[in-house]
Amino acid sequence: MKESILDIYGFKNVAQVNRNLTTPALYEAIVKRSEGIIAHLGPVVVRTGHHTGRSANDKYIVDLPSTSDVYWSKDNKPISKESFEKIYSKIKAYLQTKEIFVQDCYAGSDEETRLKVRVISEYAWHSLFARNMFIRELNKENLENFKPDFTVIDLPRFHANPDEDGTNSETFIIVNFEEKLVLIGGTSYAGEIKKSIFTVMNYLLPKKDIMSMHCSANVGENGDVALFFGLSGTGKTTLSTDPERYLIGDDEHGWNDSGVFNIEGGCYAKVINLSKEAEPDIYETTRKFGTVLENVAIDVETRRIDLDDDSLTENTRASYPITHLPKIIEDGKGKHPKNIIFLTYDAFGVLPPVAKLSKEQAMYHFVSGYTAKVAGTEKGVTEPKAVFSACFGAPFMVHHPFRYAELLGERITKHDVTCWLVNTGLTGGPYGVGDRFKIKHTRAIIKSILNGSLEKSAFVRNEVFGFGIPKEIPGIPENVVHPELAWEDKDKYNESLKNLAKNFVENFKKFQSDDKTDIAKGGPNI
């Protein structure tokens, strides 16, 4: 790498620059630098230390006149230009005499709107992660002349001083849209790299009237595209990685006038308790050269991994290029979707396994981004808790949620898209009483959505939420399709359903004053 390329960042006296190393070369560096160990059949196993997930409270956007359209919230916290410059100045000093790794790549399969991304990291395995997760440039001449649109500077061993630097802690993820820089420090969790660029894309694409989405996408043999939205634990990756369909991507997409396109070049799957029987394709990626396994347990003598071991974290992850999967769309593009599926894990046990949504209801549920979790079970608390994340990805959405909802609504109308709410959670009662919907039933429902048979069904209207519930689904018991039949106490069911609806209404209040398009009309009636 030429010294002049580093000069644009103000870096001086860097000991060694490893630019665009291949996967085998990065493996050698990882082992030589004791950053990880090679497991049986070839994946590399690494540890992320104290941070085994995203540091939501340590993410910032530099507050500038040019970013007046940012929706400031707990997910988009401002930091001053002075604090950014202070930290950046310290980083320049820190990197003197350091060895660094550089990957030049792209975010976005759409050539017209893709972002040229440079990732500068102090860990070789973070460089491999970037190589897996973004879209690779294989032409040597293009790599040599690569000029990034945005640069991520990723330094896990560099820590901020909160008293001096205006940060919440020693950890920071700072996006500067004016300087086109992302600064990451104090965390080894590699997911911050990909999510920071996703944040950038969520800012830039809507300004071009392109919808950016935190979702999976796949396509059938006939070219019919489906989108899967859902928070962690709802089955987004599992249900979109369908052996009968081709995967476009598993996490980040854009939707322009031509159709859907993948923003990434790889997958970042949660692998705790992953089984060969339930998820064979993803399971096989954990046994391949090039895959990075984060915080997965390994026997240091046999070098065999244990995917059921959560002693380090439940958030064990596998990062791998999408080409590790057998059925993919190689160019990362698809037509306009025919179906949109919102996945939720309802721990209250009251939502049906599937419901058909009107456009207004789809916009409302999209803005709500509902799932439910069992809060604090490690302390003995077993009551389910409603969780809402706007657009099913609030931490990464930079504009007001209504901006993304408006883009969604426009496309639903223009392309005649059918929208569904699919509950992969509990039925027959809340957590501790009810049972989880059987995966075979959920898969059968998804299949009936995608082959068009469910849309032809007769529907009954739910009086509280207003959505349509199929009267019957062939092969699925009636008390599964209609959850009130699975409850022993019907009064308790009705009370729990209304309480959940109240949670929706209460959550939506924070957006109420901004509702110029009557999105609230798609909400529950209580």
Judged against a pLDDT cut of 50, whether residue 460 lies above it is answered with yes
Catalytic residue at 236?
Answer: yes
pLDDT at 1: 44
Kindly report the average pLDDT of the chain as a whole number: 94
Residue 262 lies in a domain: no
Of 19, 54, 253, 400, the active-site residue reads 54
341-350, 367-376, 467-476: range with lowest mean pLDDT? 367-376
Question: pLDDT (tens digit, 9 = 90+) per residue, 155-198?
Answer: 999 999 999 999 999 999 999 999 999 999 999 999 999 999 99
Of 19, 126, 159, 195, the active-site residue reads 195
Question: pLDDT (tens digit, 9 = 90+) per residue, 422-436?
Answer: 999 999 999 889 999
What average pLDDT does the segment 30-44 reach? 98
Question: 296 and 345 in one domain?
Answer: no
What CATH number does the domain containing 394 carry?
Answer: 3.90.228.20
Catalytic residue at 237?
Answer: yes
Of 109, 251, 346, 403, the active-site residue reads 251
Catalytic residue at 317?
Answer: yes
pLDDT at 213: 98
Give residue 384's pLDDT band: very low, low, confident or very high (50, 70, 90): confident
Question: 77 and 63 in one domain?
Answer: yes
Judged against a pLDDT cut of 90, whether residue 126 lies above it is answered with yes
4-18, 71-85, 112-126, 251-265: range with lowest mean pLDDT? 4-18
Residue 245 lies in a domain: yes
Residues contacting residue 65 through CB under 8 Å, at least 6 positions apart: none
Of 232, 313, 358, 457, the active-site residue reads 232
Judged against a pLDDT cut of 50, whether residue 377 lies above it is answered with no
pLDDT at 526: 81
Question: pLDDT (tens digit, 9 = 90+) per residue, 309-334?
Answer: 999 999 999 999 999 999 999 999 99
Give residue 382's pLDDT band: very low, low, confident or very high (50, 70, 90): low
Question: 251 and 395 in one domain?
Answer: yes
Q: Could you tell me which residues are beta bridge partners of residue 354? A: 422
Q: Are 482 and 494 in contact (CB under 8 A)?
A: no
d(CA 377, CA 276): 28
What average pLDDT does the segment 324-350 reach? 97
Catalytic residue at 443?
Answer: no
Residue 99 lies in a domain: yes
Question: 418 and 514 in one domain?
Answer: yes
The interaxial angle of helices 359-368 and 490-508, nearest 10 deg, is 80
Catalytic residue at 195?
Answer: yes
pLDDT at 4: 62
Residue of 322, 370, 365 lying closest to 340 (CA atoms): 365
What CATH number does the domain containing 107 carry?
Answer: 3.40.449.10
Mapped onto helix, strand or coil, the DSSP state of residue 23 is helix
Question: 287 and 144 in one domain?
Answer: no
What CATH number does the domain containing 276 carry?
Answer: 2.170.8.10
Question: 245 and 136 in one domain?
Answer: no
- Helix then strand then coil, in percent of the chain rounded to 5, is 35, 25, 40
Strands 77-79 and 115-121, how do they pair? unpaired
Of 159, 214, 411, 441, the active-site residue reads 214
Q: Could you tell me which residues are beta bridge partners of residue 253? A: 213, 262
Domain with 18 in it: 3-36+52-208
Question: 169 and 83 in one domain?
Answer: yes
What average pLDDT does the segment 484-489 reach? 94
Number of domains into which the chain is organized: 3
Of 317, 338, 411, 482, the active-site residue reads 317
Question: 295 and 276 in one domain?
Answer: yes
Of 126, 236, 324, 399, the active-site residue reads 236
Of 237, 240, 291, 418, the active-site residue reads 237
Judged against a pLDDT cut of 90, whether residue 516 lies above it is answered with no
Question: 372 and 514 in one domain?
Answer: yes
